[in-house]
Homo-oligomer: A and B are copies of this chain.
Amino acid sequence: MSSTRDIDALIEMMAKLPGLGPRSARRAVLHLIRKRALLLSPLADLMQEVAATARECVNCGNIGTSDICDICASEKRTNGELCVVEDVADLWAMERAGGFKGRYHVLGGTLSALDAVGPEDLRIPRLIDRVTSEGITEVILALNATVDGQTTAHYIADQLETRVRLTSLAQGVPIGGELDYLDDGTISAALKARKDI
């Protein structure tokens, strides 16, 4: 055998991570083994630490190290705005962009007739509770511009319609985007939503 059982098992496990395949897993594991004192041990320790401490916020679904995440716990973020996202990755992307000073609500997916995902499978009941209990005045539906994402946005809008201001992210030309490379849908959305300069 060229490599022993544990090394093979590690490669196999790494190969199942999103974005990695067998070849890149082998490269990553070789790299880690070569720098095992500097890299592999600390990485394993950190993973163990995260495995022990990471949990979902019971309020919004964000991932953090306590039952209530830092954003939900922060007094500074109670400005009455609630941003609804599909996934924790979307929440992180919004935070990296900065500029949003309210709180989040992570649905954990989208409604999908095909995959039999209904409102009770997502955090939609909890969202409706929060709108009342946290004194929310504006709900920003920052869902992906996919069919399922937009279906979900419509469903939530129906549920909340009369209670709060409902908004969605603006659609248009991305910063740095070239018209020639954009799809027709984006161009016509940007044209419809054109602004005076």
Contacts and interface: CB of A to CB of B under 8 A. Distances in A.
A163 interface: no
A186 to B, nearest CB: 21
A48 B41 contact: yes
Given A9-B46, A47-B44, A63-B3, A18 B36 contact: no
Copies of this chain? 2
B36 A28 contact: no
B47 A32 contact: yes
A110 to B, nearest CB: 16
Contacts of A14: 43
Please report whether the interface of chain A is mostly helix, strand, loop or mixed according to DSSP: helix
B24 A18 contact: yes
Contacts of A26: 89, 92
A63 B7 CA distance: 9
A19 B30 contact: no
Nearest to A88: B30
Given A9-B46, A48-B48, 11 more contacts: A1-B71, A3-B64, A3-B92, A4-B53, A18-B24, A19-B27, A20-B28, A30-B89, A33-B63, A36-B54, A44-B45
